[in-house]
Amino acid sequence: MLRSITIGDLLDETAGNYPQKEALVYQERGLRYSFEKFRELCNQVARGLMSLGIQKGEHVAIWATNVPEWVISQFATAKMGAVLVTVNTSYRAHELEYLLQQSESTTLLLIDGYRDASYLQMIQDICPELATSQPGELVSKRLPHLKNVIYLGDERQPGMFLWKDLVELAASIDEEALLQRQQSLGPDDVINMQYTSGTTGFPKGVMLSHYNIVNNAIKVAECQGLGLEDRVCIPVPFFHCFGCVMGTLACVATGATMVPVISFDPGLVLSVVENERCTALYGVPTMFIAELNHPSFATRDLSSLRTGIMAGSPCPMEVMKNVIEKMGIRDITIAYGQTESSPVFTQTRPEDTIERRVSTVGRAHEGVEVKIIDPATGETVPPHVQGELCTRGYLVMKGYYNMPEQTRMVIDEEGWLHTGDLATVDEEGYYRITGRLKDMIIRGGENIYPREIEEFLYSHPKILDVQVVGVPDSTYGEQVLACIRVKPEETLTAEEVKAYCDGKIARFKIPYYIQFVEEYPMTASGKIQKFKLREQAIQSFGLESRSETETA
């Protein structure tokens, strides 16, 4: 049964039913909020955002790790009707500028930085006008829509509000005004926008409604059997649906407790699970591998764990066995989907065998249609025949923001979302992902579109031409290879190319392998044969064994 409810109303309902139940716990910050307190904070920040003049439907971007302000902002924007635009924490200046321009965001919330990247420095480089602006009055040449920058820190920054300002500004908007705003919202309104690389061009803003993600969160929770007694450790990033739909929203939908980790660290995750008696744990396979291999693993009491989700890339059999037997997560589930489908539409169930949890991505969620078609004819194929995986139902996105043509390329006239992934299905309805129609590289669960990297590298003064492909990698699934033609009379090294990328594009997009070539393999009609570049690289870099292992 699908629910027709907004995220704000859902939070009010849960907080009304279980006011004293723990909603949000951060071991790192010594922070504990009941649902009543969490709702109060979300309302306060919602009113603060309204005090800045932010209207229903305006775009508010957030660039931060899994800090408490992220979760509060997620529900605060949902209450006052702003669309939350999630920014990948690995982004650099080039990508941030593109996202803020394309999304037409009027407000940006950000932390000081992550790892070795200074977010403050990057936004100041893009918007030098901040240095002489009053908070809320930014007029930026490169980002004409951006008016407000809110720093999630304690020290005053030129031209920016602080988070505490937002909390204090709430006093200027009464609770009745927020209630009226919240009541003006509908379940079909777009409330979340996430950027994903697709089959063409640069990342696209996937528009998701309350109806899309509330119901997906409920279905994901049902497959795990999540309820009031559950405490979900969330070390996966909030900027992905994995964190903010399958994680935080699923908890609010069921009354489970959110136990986030600010940024992934295997030792910290084990500590949080042990100390908070978490019953569920989320992660991509590489996260579970890191936890299992952590020096403190053998000394940890993880007996509270029961369920969770592993997603992002296929799970090796040995890892799944260790997660079930050594970590004790007997009901671990595998989920599959994409941002465009809110995100999950197939999932294993706790009763499924280990073999099914390793070799398939489970069965379709209740209330969702799934089919496999012949890409050439569009006809549905029989069991065990490979074709393109498609889905239809409540979970299909509203479209790509300001990209109607690209939207039409993936959602057909009958409402089917074409995933671009190849799959088979057996007689019992279990789906197996077998490959990709797309030219996308998936590195450690991160989607990378080659053209975006190619466009960036073209800006190097010594590069004549560049082709980017994915090559097999035993750790990350795939790595990025750039095949570069250098301009005549110029010389270029791999180190120079990597240095040029450093700090300008996300680290996971920086080519791991670089080959300098005189020409590319071509078809008779002049099209570059990327599959041959991949084959040549596998041979050149000695990747044959890894490739065979992964296709076995």
pLDDT the model gives residue 197? 62
Taking all residues of the chain, what is their mean pLDDT, rounded to a whole number?
93
Express each pLDDT in 134-168 by its tens digit: 999 999 999 999 999 999 999 999 999 999 999 99
Buried b (16+ CB within 10 A) or exposed e, 72-84: bbbbbbbbbbbbb
Give the C-alpha separation, 234 to 246, whole Å: 9
Higher pLDDT, 524 or 18: 18
Strand intervals (E) in 349-476 = 363-364, 368-373, 387-393, 399-400, 417-425, 431-436, 441-443, 446-448, 463-473
Express each pLDDT in 489-505 by its tens digit: 999 999 999 999 999 99
543 to each of 307, 471, 516, how far by Cα in Å? 36, 8, 18
CATH number at residue 127: 3.40.50.980
Chosen domain end from 149, 170, 185 = 185
Residue 325 covered by a domain: no
Decide if pLDDT at 108 tops 80.
yes
pLDDT the model gives residue 318? 84
The residue-averaged pLDDT of 526-542 equals 85
Residue 297 covered by a domain: no
Decide if pLDDT at 424 tops 60.
yes
Give the three-class secondary structure for 28: helix
Decide if pLDDT at 64 tops 60.
yes
Decide if pLDDT at 53 tops 80.
yes
What long-range pairs does 35-39 form, CB within 8 A, spacing at least 24?
A: 35/255, 38/11, 38/72, 38/75, 39/11, 39/12, 39/15
pLDDT the model gives residue 531? 82
Question: Which residue from 83, 82, 18 is spatially nearest to 47, judged by alpha carbons?
Answer: 82
Decide if pLDDT at 552 tops 80.
no
Residue 203 covered by a domain: no
Tell me if 345 sits within 8 A of 370, measured CB to CB.
Answer: yes
pLDDT band at 549 (very low <50, low <70, confident <90, very high): very low
Structural domain that includes position 95: 8-15+29-185
Residue 511 covered by a domain: yes
| Ranges of H-type helices in 326-428 | 354-359, 404-410
pLDDT the model gives residue 199? 38
Give the C-alpha separation, 213 to 129, whole Å: 37
Q: 204 forms bridges with which residues in the sheet?
A: 196
pLDDT the model gives residue 526? 56
Residue 480 covered by a domain: yes
* Counted domains in the chain: 2
Residue 547 covered by a domain: yes
pLDDT the model gives residue 546? 46
pLDDT band at 438 (very low <50, low <70, confident <90, very high): low
Residue 320 covered by a domain: no
Decide if pLDDT at 309 tops 60.
yes
Give the three-class secondary structure for 460: coil
Q: Put residue 430 in one of left, alpha, beta given phi > 0 → left and psi -120 to 50 → alpha.
A: beta
Chosen domain end from 160, 185, 210 = 185
pLDDT the model gives residue 100? 98
Chosen domain end from 125, 155, 185 = 185
Rounded to a whole number of angstroms, the CA Rg of the chain reads 23
pLDDT the model gives residue 523? 55
Express each pLDDT in 159-213 by its tens digit: 999 999 999 999 999 999 999 999 999 999 999 999 986 434 578 999 999 999 9
Decide if pLDDT at 387 tops 50.
yes
Residue 245 covered by a domain: no
The residue-averaged pLDDT of 304-324 equals 90
CATH number at residue 459: 3.30.300.30
Instruction: Count the Cβ atoms, other than its own, within 10 Å of residue 395.
Output: 26
pLDDT the model gives residue 529? 81
pLDDT the model gives residue 322? 94
The residue-averaged pLDDT of 249-255 equals 98
The residue-averaged pLDDT of 111-120 equals 96
